[in-house]
Structure 1
Amino acid sequence: MTLTDTAVTATLPERLAAVWEELEEHLARVPVLQRLEAGTVTIEDYRRLLFNLRQQVVDGSPWISRAGSNFDIAHFELRSAAIHHAEEEHRDFLMIERDYVAVGGTLDELRAGRKNLGSEALSGYMFTYADRPNPTGLLGAMFIIEGLGAKRAAQWASRFQEVLGLADNQVHFMRYHEQADAGHTGDMDAILTSGLLSEEDADEVVRCAQVVARLYALQLEELDR
């Protein structure tokens, strides 16, 4: 079944919900998250996760800004939302750096790191897509990334604290994104249901969500590679 065929029988939120279910299935097979769930995760696992996330999070605000600059005046609402979102996101990597140091890492090793295979693919896709004229499909990327913050970050933070005895200042990045991304998803949901998007736009949103969901899970699977 093609994206267009699916659009005939399901609304955009329903189609995105199906993508989210697929993401959950991929996350359930990620080794570090399996260890987290089982209670066998280590402090080294947590440092590795922060190390790998930081390399990709640094790119977040730049690709959002680039997307905003490529929306024309007919897409003013999306341009405005992207610019505002980029401003809110551009310091996020600093929270990861503070958490990393708080659990025994050093800034020198963290800042000397590079993206893993999944992060390279994810960032490359995001920047390439953001260069398109009116890159509306990136709403699908935001659905995945902001959804992870709103729906999973606090759960992961609580579990890391439970298993490893971490303090709040050692999981600040994840804790912060529970609330911040919940607000972002609310703003995005308003756009997705506003009637601003054509059927073609909706197809692009779903396709982008599918790609980003797979690449984000790959990023977590390929820690340090």
Structure 2
Amino acid sequence: MTTETLAPSDTLADRLTAVWDEFEEHLARVPILQRLAEGTVTIDDYRRLLFNLRQQVVDGSPWISRAAASFDVDHFELRSAAIRHAEEEHRDYLMIERDYVAFGGTLAELRAGRKNIGSEALSGYMFHYADRPNPVGLLGAMFIIEGLGARRAAGWASRFQEVLGLADNQVHFMTYHQDADAEHTGNLEAILQSGAIDAEGADEIVRCAQVVARLYALQLTELDR
């Protein structure tokens, strides 16, 4: 089911659920995740995944901070939530670096990396959207990104450990986000259900979620490109 099949009377939660279901379909076609599910994933695959994720994750807190600065006083609660979230996220890339070094990679090669074409598109979109006045639609981006951590990251970590024999300190970034992002998604759901989102805001949230879902899947598909 895609968002286009939904009736106008569907709630924001219904519409976002449809976006998530479509996102899951795209993730199922990502080559590295297919190999992970099949048990044919390699250490090099995992190295490449962390290498590519780090280049985009380092931008996470900056775009959230920029979004916070774009909210006016009438959106004070959203501004406050964004400031808190930026503070919580700004060290996340360091966990990836520690995981990467824990299985033999070097910080020099990791920090000298560049974004793949999917990461370039994702970060570019996030910074562009964050510059809009009152970028309420970014709640849709958070729905996808935080939802991925809460719903999928720990399962991926467990599967990487099962197939590759990785230690806990080599998958810490993924396991950490199960609990951290579950808390974030709980906070997000409270905002989405608070009644503070009008019809126009709901449309922006859904549209942003659709775009970010496609770009995130592209990021995972275009490793190293």
CA distance in 2, matches of 1:55, 1:178: 21
Long gaps (5+) in structure 1 = none
Look up the match of 1:186: 186
Which SS does the other structure have where 2:8 is aligned?
helix
TM-score, reference length from structure 1: 0.97
Alignment of 1:157-196 (within 5 A): 157-196=157-196
- The one-letter code sitting in structure 2 at the alignment partner of 1:192 is L
Is it true that 1:110 corresponds to 2:110 in the alignment? yes
**1:93 alignment counterpart:** 93
Change (3 A) 1:80 1:37: same
The 5 A counterparts of 1:54-133 are 54-133=54-133
Q: Decide whether the 8 Å contact of 1:4 with 1:203 is kept in 2.
A: no
Q: Aligned residues: percent identity? A: 80
Aligned equivalent of 2:33? 33
Task: Please say if residues 43 and 103 of structure 1, whose CA atoms lie closer than 8 Å, have aligned partners that are also in contact.
Answer: no
Q: C-alpha offsets along residues 178-217 of structure 1, whole Å, 9 cap, x if unaligned?
A: 0000000000000000000110000000000000000000
Structure 2 counterpart of 1:130, one-letter code: A
Query: What's the counterpart of residue 23 of structure 1?
Result: 23
Structure 1 pair 8–20 and aligned structure 2 pair: CA distance change class (3 A):
same
Other-structure match for 1:206? 206
Q: Give the alignment's Cα RMSD to 1 decimal.
A: 1.2
Distance, in Å, in 1 between the alignment partners of 2:9 and 2:136 is 22
The alignment's TM-score, normalised by the length of structure 2, stands at 0.97
2:100 partner amino acid: Y
Q: 1:72·1:134 contact (CA, 8 Å) conserved in 2?
A: yes
Deviation at 1:9, TM superposition (A): 2.1
Residue by residue over 1:144-199, the C-alpha shift from the partner in whole angstroms, topping out at 9 and shown as x without a partner, is 00000000000000000000001100000000000000000000000000000110
Does the 8 Å CA contact 1:100/1:170 hold for their aligned counterparts?
yes
Aligned to 2:141: 141
Deviation of residue 103 (structure 1)?
Answer: 1.4
State the Cα distance separating 1:104 from its structure 2 match: 1.4
